[in-house]
Amino acid sequence: MGDGFAIDVRGMTKRFDGRTVVNGIDLQVARGEICGFLGPNGSGKTTFIRMLCGLLRPDGGSGSCLGFDVIRDSEAIRRRVGYMTQRFSYYEDLSIAENLEFVARMFSIPDRRRRVDECLDELGLSARRNQLAGELSGGWKQRLALAACTLHRPSLLLLDEPTAGVDPKARRIFWDSVHDLSAGGITVLISTHYMDEAERCHSLAYIAYGDLLARGSGAEIVASSGLATRVVTGPDLSSLAARLRPLPGVCQAVAFGRELHVSGTDEAALDLSLAGFRGEGYEWSPSAPGLEDVFIHFMDKARDNFTP
């Protein structure tokens, strides 16, 4: 396993009730990298994250996390990882500072009050230190959760859809904090459904129903998808999309505001099918596929592992 990787695992597998929910995943994440973990709901992202930090034991696979064996050294890994769950899990009847002091006690952090004060300053929470957690908006709760999982100075952050339901400004502030932590040497694996967030990651991994379908930078994933995209504007795009979707070469026709993105993996067949619509008041132009085009394509191809 490479010393340059914070995460270096191969064949990671997990089954529940005979159903494979994580299917032989290989993943390497370099130290200090922000890796975006994407995929539809129910695809095994949370299960994979929980195996990495020792909360679930894999049924198969091997590898290392922060240099420790993911099977044998789960306790050592947990002490060095910050895990932020999807659900806010701190005490709403305690203040921000009291919640952090409680976490500091759990990790037996020396000089814990000084460390809590540092963390409050680092994440812009000092002015609200005495505010009850239950009174916080979603964005401030998110910032408290990030403070709590960085309090013990972890080497790796595992963030499970941390910005779900948070407004755009709060998401941007959160991501600025994530990049600051990465610049300080912390590795980040973050699951998200937002394409603008995916574009802020150094690398991406796309999982669908237990299978890892793509890995690399955003540009590499788009280039390897084989998708060709045409953008169309004009009248009644909803009706046009319904007419286009059954045609040869058309893999998807998806509305983006006042545009329709029509994509396929066979460019010649795609253009042949679209030729008959060029005289109906529509304006067509070629376009490079975006990450959202590519991930919708992956999702359409993937087989739900709950399908008999």
Q: Mean pLDDT score of the chain, rounded to an integer?
A: 91
Question: pLDDT tens digit string along 32-85?
Answer: 999 999 988 888 999 999 999 889 999 999 999 999 999 999 999 999 999 998
Question: pLDDT tens digit string along 194-239?
Answer: 888 999 999 999 998 899 999 999 999 999 989 999 999 999 999 9
Mean per-residue pLDDT for 261-276?
94
The pLDDT, as a whole number, for residue 88 is: 80
Given 3-state DSSP classes, what are the helix, strand and coil percentages for the chain, each rounded to the nearest 5?
Answer: 35, 30, 35
CA nearest to 230, candidates 282, 296, 295, 300:
282
Taking the alpha carbons of 154, 155, 158, 162 in that order, is the dihedral positive or negative? positive
For residue 157, CA distances in Å to 188, 205, 268, 292 come to: 5, 16, 45, 25
> Residue 132 has what DSSP assignment?
B
4 pLDDT higher than 90: no
Radius of gyration of the chain (CA): 22
Query: Quick check: 45 and 39 in contact, CB under 8 A?
Result: yes
Taking the alpha carbons of 278, 281, 287, 290 in that order, is the dihedral positive or negative? negative
The pLDDT, as a whole number, for residue 1 is: 43
> What share of the chain in percent tops pLDDT 70?
97
The pLDDT, as a whole number, for residue 98 is: 96
Question: Dihedrals φ, ψ of 163, to 5°?
Answer: -105, 15
Question: What dihedral angle (degrees, nearest 10) is formed by the CA atoms of 53, 59, 60, 61?
Answer: 0
d(CA 182, CA 201): 10
Question: pLDDT tens digit string along 33-46?
Answer: 999 999 888 889 99
Helix (H, G, I), strand (E, B) or coil at 166: coil
308 pLDDT higher than 60: no
Q: How confident is the model at residue 119 (pLDDT cuts 50, 70, 90)?
A: very high
Is the pTM value of this prediction over 0.95? no
Mean per-residue pLDDT for 181-192?
94
Write the CB contacts of 164 (distance below 8 Å, at least 6 apart in sequence): 86, 193
The pLDDT, as a whole number, for residue 304 is: 66
100 pLDDT higher than 80: yes
Q: Which domains does the chain have, with CATH numbers?
A: 5-221 (3.40.50.300), 228-288 (3.30.70.330)
The pLDDT, as a whole number, for residue 285 is: 93
